[in-house]
Amino acid sequence: MLLQTVRPNIVQAIRAYRVEDLMQAAQDAGQHFLYANLNEAQSKQDVLEGIAQSFLFPAHFGKNLDALYDCMTDLVHKSGSQPGFVVVLEQLPDNIRFDREAREQLLDVFREAADYWADRKIQFRCFYSFQ
């Protein structure tokens, strides 16, 4: 099984994994599959908006990194027992409006979410790719 070969509670480049395989692995494991294709995004705000729409965040989502963390952790934790997560952020922008620092800040939120879920013994794997 694919997820058995990937350390739990990690944020990593998607590399040789296919989105369809990750989705199937999440389904097989009974875990949430969260997918955002961000190929239209050009800025931090575009990326946050794309994630919010794809992950069905509430309308009051603040479109900032703190709000993203809250939605990926506390809001979900309060909704009850969780089976685990496979998150795919596909086609993150790589341009002057969303540079390396902005990408690292975004990925840090997902790393912090992975730590949050690890503390609760819940698997959280995040895969990403760049445009």
Quote the percentage of the chain above a pLDDT of 70. 98
Domain ranges in the chain?
A: 2-130
pLDDT tens figures, 79-97: 778 899 999 999 999 999 9
Burial class from Cβ neighbours inside 10 Å (0-12, 13-18, 19+) for residue 16 reads exposed
**3-class DSSP state of 131:** coil
Asked whether 14 and 127 are in contact (CB, 8 A), the reply is yes
Quote the mean pLDDT of the chain: 93
Region 108-113 average pLDDT:
98
Answer whether CATH 3.30.370.10 is correct for domain 2-130: yes
pLDDT above 90 coverage of the chain, percent: 82
Would you state the pLDDT for residue 16? 87
pLDDT mean over 46-58: 95
The Cα 17–Cα 22 span in angstroms is 7
What is the predicted pLDDT for the residue at 97?
A: 95
